[in-house]
Structure 1
Amino acid sequence: MKQIRSYNTLPDGYKEVLNINLRGIKIFVFLNVASVLLILPFVLAYIIYLELNPDSSPIKLELLNILMYVSIALIIIFVHELIHGIFFKLGTKEKISYKFHGWAASASVEGIYFYKNHYILTGIAPFILITPLLVASIYSFPTHSLGFYILLAMHTSGCIGDFYVIFKLLKYSPDTLIHDYGIGMTFYKK
């Protein structure tokens, strides 16, 4: 399948058309502002929920609950990157590199060029797989529903970098190749 093939070297005839470095100050600020804006609908929905359900009580801010939610949030970050890695593996036999960059975690395969559709699938997979689990947890654990709701909001806003890159990729043709170097990626087109 052409969409999931990858190359160890850039094929002839390809040239760089875009380089996204997530360490750049403009992109860093943009993604953080966008992440906050992405949380706002969750806050608004919760406020509306409280207005419609005045008898509902929020979670207790006990140390044990806080530690549990922080632990789950860290596990979600790890699983999110692991899912990226699994989907990268569908297109290459090369080793996946996992890194923490101070403010973001990443999974990448240095020196490999992936086709656009495979890269989009790899980028969106954690959101598609983790979101239903968090939504199910909201309904399955009513005494912790707000905690899981907050985790859902945090994970969704944490996907902003993935959403941004996918949005940028949409205008390119399916034969576009992407080289992901962890904290950024370069797009190549014929």
Structure 2
Amino acid sequence: MHLYKHIDITNNRNLVYGLNVAAVIAFLIFLWVFGAMAGSITVKFTKSYFIWLIVALLVVVTIHEVIHGVLYKAFKPNGKIKIGFKNGLLSVSSPKSLYTKQQFLWIGATPFVAISLVLMAMFFVGWLPGDIFLALASLHGAGCVGDFYLLCLVMTSPKYYYISDREDGIDIYSNS
């Protein structure tokens, strides 16, 4: 295998800054998208609202990372899973495991899609108040910006390349 591209997210200040700016923009876009689904809502800025929101967000982020971990294991049952914190955020990686582009696209996209669909379903059946739905869905979507960035890099790499997840980013390899 030949290293085609190394993407180090953790140690690249400019990239981290750019992803943070993109996350703010994504948050505003997701407020608009999910807000259109929720319709007109009133947010009650109370102490209990923020406590519930923080607890719910911690649960959602944990589930997000568990989904990544389950998919890493599903595609590479013998691969090692590493759980840690990157830049103060919970992170799951599978260092030294090689994945096809398609496998990595599933690993990267599934948490956003699955959690967004579950949150929408919970809102539409009345299990989740509109203000909590809007905040959770928008914050989670904005938090997925790093995944979206890696997915774009993987999608634009040549067809038969492989991806190795790393604690600080990813490596993209060619067969030759």
Q: What's the TM-score, normalizing by structure 2? A: 0.87
Tell me the CA shift for residue 101 of structure 1: 1.4
Q: Percent identity?
A: 24
- Asked if residue 25 in structure 1 is aligned to residue 10 in structure 2, the reply is no
**Size of the alignment, in residue pairs?**
173
Alpha-carbon distance in structure 1 between the residues aligned to 2:127 and 2:8: 41
Give the alignment of 1:129-148 within 5 angstroms: 129-141=114-126, 144-148=129-133
> In structure 2, do the counterparts of structure 1 residues 26 and 109 end up closer, same or farther at CA, with 3 Å as the change threshold?
same
User: Which structure has the larger Rg over C-alpha atoms?
Assistant: 1
Q: What amino acid is the match of 1:122? A: I
Distance across 2 between alignment mates of 1:43 and 1:80: 19
For 1:50-69, list aligned pairs within 5 A: 58-69=42-53
What TM-score does the superposition give when structure 1 sets the normalisation length? Answer: 0.81
Q: What is the alpha-carbon distance in structure 2 between the residues aligned to residue 148 and residue 49 of structure 1?
A: 10
Q: 2:65 aligns with which of 69, 74, 81?
A: 81
The answer as to whether partners of 2:35 and 2:134 remain within 8 angstroms in 1 is: no
Secondary structure in 1 aligned to 2:92?
A: strand
**Alignment-derived partner of residue 151 in structure 1:** 136
Deviation at 1:128, TM superposition (A): 1.4
Q: 1:70 to 1:16 in 2, by over 3 A?
A: same
Q: Deviations over 1:137-159 (max 9, x none)?
A: 23233872111111100111111
Task: Name 1:40's counterpart in structure 2.
Answer: 28
The alignment status of 1:102 with 2:87, answered yes or no, reads: yes
Q: Which runs of 5+ in 1 are unaligned?
A: 1-13
**Partner SS for 2:4:** strand
Which residue of 2 is the match for residue 173 of structure 1? Answer: 158
Cα RMSD after superposing both structures: 2.3
- Kindly report structure 1 stretches of 4+ aligned residues shifted beyond 6 Å: 46-50
Which consecutive unaligned segments of at least 5 residues does structure 2 have? Answer: none
The 10-residue stretch of structure 1 (113-122 or 173-182) with the greater mean CA deviation from structure 2: 173-182
